[in-house]
Homo-oligomer: A and B are copies of this chain.
Amino acid sequence: MIPSIGYAAKNSFSRLRPFAFEREEAGASEVEIAVMFCGICHSDIHQVKNEWSNTVYPCMPGHEVVGRVTRVGSAVSRHQVGDIVGVGCMIDSCRQCEPCRAGDENYCEGPNSWLATYNGPMMPAKMAPTGTNMYARDNTFGGYSDTLVVKEDFVLKIPAALRPEVAAPILCAGVTTYSPMKHWGVKTGDRVGIIGFGGLGDMAAKLAKAMGAEVTVFTTTEDKLADAERIGARGVLESDQKALKELMLSFDFILSTIPEKHDLNPFIPLLKRDSTIVVVGALEPLAAVNNQQVAFHRKSVAGSLIGNLADTQEVLEFCAEHGIGPDIQIVPIQEVNDAYKRVEKGEVRFRYVIDMATLKREEMA
């Protein structure tokens, strides 16, 4: 066993605190990683607070992980000691179902779905049709820690052109926005709307720009209009009725990145005929949608969940090639609870990344 340290929450109303635990050592096809940086995703907060009613405690979040390989199992061929690598939201999947065989591990239809980097399988034993847990791990611990042990094929390569701290948020925020834009065929000249301008919105806008689209960002924060302009997008306040009216029937694709219940009705009229609005931020009931808005121009409201491993590797390389990445603010692990508060208030510009070098064994209880 590897004596490990990290930050975890003991229950839904506690703050994250230093936590010592043990990880199993790398098996033959596994890689041991010394974590360097870990992004703070809004999902981390939902999970820590048990807002999806499925949190297993203690809860150690972190699924935007970049680190250095410190040890490889005997059968590992993809990675070498010293490599800078990344781990996103998943660390395993069933590998048997149709989506897994098609390379869509994020849509795994195995009895326990995929194994999340933290909080265990997406379908725990009690929800699985089999009543069991094929991964034999109920509660995985994520990247808010010094070490991670992951099967080699769920470990991504970080291109040399990307700084490790910049690469971290691409592993979730990047691929979550890249995957649907690729799937729904965003291309040069398209008009793309991005609703919400936080960690996901920032990545989405930059990726869409790099794909050649004309990008409009919808935000509730007046201060962020200048941020949009800075990255070559148009910023529009969600409350600007006049602007919304002028944009009717003008978008080829809209991505909603808002991480909580919200109302799509003001945005559906903005889509062109036969176009789609995809919701990636909120994994919960949305406000009721008026089907008149949807039916009158044969529109679609779709959802998308992160992205598969191939898309994750692809978006890392796409970012390296186009010289783009998230706007980040580095925080020490000791400030993670304050950072959560600022994320919830929408005060972060645009992604907090924890410098895991700040994690010290002396802190552990």
Number of residues from A at the complex interface, CB < 8 A: 37
B292, B294, B299, B305: the one contacting A296 at CB < 8 Å is B305
In the complex, whether A279 has a CB less than 8 A from a CB of chain B is yes
A166 close to chain B: CB less than 8 A: no
> Closest chain B residue to A304 by CB distance?
B298
A residues 99-125 in Cβ contact with B at 8 Å: 99, 104, 107, 109, 113
Q: Mark A221-243, 1 if CB is under 8 A from B, else 0.
A: 00000000000000000000000
Cβ of A258 to closest chain B Cβ, rounded Å: 11
Q: Find the B residue at minimum CB distance from A268.
A: B303
Does residue A301 face the partner (Cβ distance < 8 Å to B)? yes
Chain B nearest CB: distance from A306 CB in Å?
A: 9
Q: In the complex the two chains form, is A107's CB within 8 Å of B298's CB?
A: yes
Given A300-B300, A302-B300, A285–B289 Cβ distance below 8 Å?
Answer: yes
Q: In the complex, are the beta carbons of A291 and B283 less than 8 A apart?
A: yes
- CB of A294 within 8 A of CB of B303, answer yes
With A300-B301, A301-B301, A302-B300 as known contacts, state yes or no: A295 contacts B273, CB within 8 Å.
Answer: no
Task: Give 1 or 0 for each of A275-292: 1 = CB within 8 Å of chain B CB.
Answer: 010011011111111111
Interface residues of A (CB under 8 A from B): 98-99, 104, 107, 109, 113, 180, 183, 249, 273, 276, 279-280, 282-305
The 5 A-B residue pairs with the shortest CB-CB distance, nearest first, are A295-B303, A294-B303, A300-B302, A300-B300, A285-B290
